[in-house]
Amino acid sequence: MKILLAAPRGFCAGVNMAVKSLDLALKHFGAPVYVFHEIVHNQYVVRSFESKGAIFVNHLEEIPAKSTVLFSAHGVSPAIRKLAQQRELLAIDATCPLVTKVHLEAIKFAKDHYTIILIGHQGHDEVIGTMGEAPEAIVLVESTQEVDRLEYQPGTKLAYLTQTTLSVDDANRIIERLKTKFPWIVGPPKEDICYATQNRQEAVRSIAPDATKVIVLGSQNSSNSQRLRELAQEQGRRAYLVDGPEDLSLEWFEPSDVVLVTAGASAPEEVIAKTLDWLQSHFQADLELREVRKEEVHFPLPRTLRMLD
Ligand code: SF4
C-alpha cells in the first residue's frame, strides 16, 4: 500500500486561534469555561476540551450569570452578543476573522438596502450567525434549483454572499445561475470561501487522480470535511469521512491501494498521525507527502486573551 498524505490539510488559522483561545481561557479563568456551540466541528477536539472542563451549550440560558463564555470559530449573531451582555457573561469572541468579514459585508449591503442572497447550508452555525446580522434582508439558497425559484424585478438591489466552507465548484455553479438570472447582482469585493477551504479542495482535486481510495479525517457535521469527501467521490474515488482510525474497517482496503489521506480544517494532526499508524501497521504502507501549496496564515487571539498569552 502507498499513502499519499495531502498538504495543506487539517487545522486552519481560524481553528488554531479558536483552540488556542479555549486553552488559554481554561488556564487563566479555570474550569468551567462555557462554549456556545462546538468550538469547532470535530468530536476529538470537543471531547478533549470537555475532559479539561469546557462545557458546550446550545443556549446561553444554560450558562449561569457572570460566567465566562467563548464564542466558537463559526461566529454568532448580534442577538446572542446582546443576550450574553444581559446575562453579564464575560464573552471571549473566537470568531474566525474570515467569518467576521462575511458578517461585515452583510451589514454593509443591508445598510445600503440590498436584498442579500446568502449561499450556504441551512442550520449551519455560521449561516445562523451571518443571517442574524440582517435577518430581514437575507435570503438563504442552497442549490441552483432554489435560485430558479427566486423572483426579483430588474432594478431590485441584489447582492450575494457565501458561507466560508462551501464546495468551490458548487458555489460557482450557484453564483453563475444567479448572474444569469439577475445580471445586475453584485458580489463581495473578495470571495467569501476561505483560503483553507479552497486549498484543501485544491489538494484533493490534484492528488485524487493518483489514488484508489481517499480518507478524509473530520466529523460528520464538519461542512468543509464533507465537501472534501464529495470532491473525491466526484472524481470517481471511494472516499471515507471518519473521525479517526477507530472508524476505519480493514475490509475497505486492499494491499495494492494508493490511499490519499487528508483532513478537514477542524481535524487535529494527532488524529492524522494515528490514522497513518493504523494504515502502516495493517498494510505496511509507504508514506509520500504531496504538498500542493504552502500555507502561512495566522490570526491573532481575541483581544480579551492577547494580554494573557
Ligand atoms: S475554515 Fe476558513 S473560515 Fe472556517 S475557521 Fe478555518 S479559516 Fe476560518
- Select which of 38, 105, 126, 230 is catalytic: 126
What pLDDT, in 10s, does the model give residues 43-62? Answer: 999 999 999 999 999 999 99
Q: How confident is the model at residue 167 (pLDDT cuts 50, 70, 90)?
A: very high
- Do 259 and 208 share a domain, yes or no? yes
Contact (CB, 8 A) for 96 and 84: no
- Do 126 and 89 share a domain, yes or no? no
Is residue 308 predicted with pLDDT exceeding 80? no
**Mapped to the 3 state alphabet, what secondary structure does the chain carry?**
CEEEEEECCCCCHHHHHHHHHHHHHHHHHCCCEEEECCCCCCHHHHHHHHHHCEEEECCHHHCCCCCEEEECCCCCCHHHHHHHHHCCCEEEECCCHHHHHHHHHHHHHHHCCCEEEEECCCCCHHHHHHHCCCCCCEEEECCHHHHHCCCCCCCCCEEEEECCCCCHHHHHHHHHHHHHHCCCCECCCCCCCCHHHHHHHHHHHHHHHHCCEEEEECCCCCHHHHHHHHHHHHCCCEEEEECCHHHCCHHHCCCCCEEEEEECCCCCHHHHHHHHHHHHHHHCCEEEEEECCCCCCCCCCCHHHHCCC
- Please indicate, yes or no, if residue 188 is contained in any of the structural domains: no
The predicted structure's pLDDT at residue 78: 97
- Do 140 and 115 share a domain, yes or no? yes
- Please indicate, yes or no, if residue 190 is contained in any of the structural domains: no
| CA-wise closest residue to 176 among 155, 147, 142, 138 | 147
- Do 78 and 111 share a domain, yes or no? no
Residues touching ligand 1 (Cβ under 6 Å) are 12-15, 73, 96, 98-99, 164-165, 194, 196-197, 224, 265
Share of the chain above pLDDT 90, in %: 97
- Residue 52 sits in a domain whose CATH number is 3.40.50.11270
- Please indicate, yes or no, if residue 189 is contained in any of the structural domains: no
Pick from 126, 155, 181: which residue ends a domain? Answer: 181
- Please indicate, yes or no, if residue 105 is contained in any of the structural domains: yes
- Please indicate, yes or no, if residue 160 is contained in any of the structural domains: yes
The predicted structure's pLDDT at residue 148: 98
Q: What is the side-by-side order of every strand in the sheet holding 258-263?
A: 238-242, 213-217, 258-263, 2-7, 286-291
Q: Is the entire prediction scored with pTM above 0.85?
A: yes
- Please indicate, yes or no, if residue 187 is contained in any of the structural domains: no
Q: Among 165, 191, 228, which is best to mutate for testing ligand 1, by the most ligand atoms less than 8 A from CB? A: 165
- Please indicate, yes or no, if residue 221 is contained in any of the structural domains: yes
- Residue 263 sits in a domain whose CATH number is 3.40.1010.20
Is residue 135 predicted with pLDDT exceeding 80? yes
Is residue 289 predicted with pLDDT exceeding 90? yes
User: Number of folded domains in the chain?
Assistant: 3
- Do 90 and 105 share a domain, yes or no? no
- Do 129 and 168 share a domain, yes or no? yes
The cell numbers describing 256, all together, are 495494492
Is residue 186 predicted with pLDDT exceeding 80? yes
- Do 200 and 277 share a domain, yes or no? yes
- Do 110 and 171 share a domain, yes or no? yes
Q: How far is the CA of 306 from the centre of ligand 1 (A)?
A: 20
- Do 109 and 83 share a domain, yes or no? no
Q: Among 9, 11, 15, which is best to mutate for testing ligand 1, by the most ligand atoms less than 8 A from CB? A: 15
Is residue 88 predicted with pLDDT exceeding 80? yes
- Do 110 and 92 share a domain, yes or no? no
Q: How far is the CA of 217 from the centre of ligand 1 (A)?
A: 16
The predicted structure's pLDDT at residue 228: 98
The predicted structure's pLDDT at residue 256: 97
- Please indicate, yes or no, if residue 84 is contained in any of the structural domains: yes
- Do 145 and 230 share a domain, yes or no? no
State which ligand 1 atom lies nearest to the alpha carbon of 12: 6
Is residue 307 predicted with pLDDT exceeding 90? no
Q: How far is the CA of 68 from the centre of ligand 1 (A)?
A: 23
The predicted structure's pLDDT at residue 189: 87
- Do 150 and 109 share a domain, yes or no? yes
| Long-range contacts, stretch 77-83, CB < 8 angstroms, 24+ apart | 77/128, 77/129, 77/131, 77/132, 77/133, 78/132, 78/133, 79/132, 80/36, 80/129, 80/132
Identify the residue with better confidence: 4 or 304: 4
Q: Among 17, 37, 164, which is best to mutate for testing ligand 1, by the most ligand atoms less than 8 A from CB? A: 164
Per the annotation, the verdict on 126 as an active-site residue is yes
The predicted structure's pLDDT at residue 261: 98
Domain that holds residue 235: 2-11+195-291
The predicted structure's pLDDT at residue 225: 97
